[in-house]
Amino acid sequence: MIFLFTGCFTRTPQITSSATILIKTPAMKFYDKGFIFKYEDYTQVQIFTAGTVILDMKIYEDRVCRSTFECQDLKTFNRNNLHKSYDDRFLKELFDKNQKEVVFRDRENRILIKIRRD
């Protein structure tokens, strides 16, 4: 009986913020308006272009899930999309910062991530 009630329960984020998000790496290029949703056990990043979601990514403590691929462990995600030298928690910590503007630049690996909250 409990399963029936909790199975239909929609989770609400603890914090929601709109932002202009730029993610530019050799493997990913996204730049537009979006939202950052902070839930108890993950952070969700959505980027929209012309009202269509072009990136929907959920960042957990141990994996990253995107709508375009199955979930990947953090080491695999970093190796494929950022750089293998990055700490496993790098991406989650970047999006969890509560600053108006976050800029991460790694010229050596050609990575630029900017988050400007509205």
Report d(CA 71, CA 6) in Å as an integer.
24
**Tokens matching residue 116:** 């400007």
Report d(CA 17, CA 98) in Å as an integer.
10
Q: What is the pLDDT of residue 29?
A: 96
Report d(CA 110, CA 32) in Å as an integer.
19
pLDDT digits (tens, 9 = 90+) for 11-59: 687 788 999 999 999 999 999 999 999 999 999 999 999 889 999 999 9
Report d(CA 79, CA 97) in Å as an integer.
22
pTM of the model: 0.84
By the 8 A CB rule, do 73 and 61 touch?
A: no
Predicted confidence band at 94 (pLDDT cuts at 50, 70, 90)? very high
Predicted confidence band at 10 (pLDDT cuts at 50, 70, 90)? low
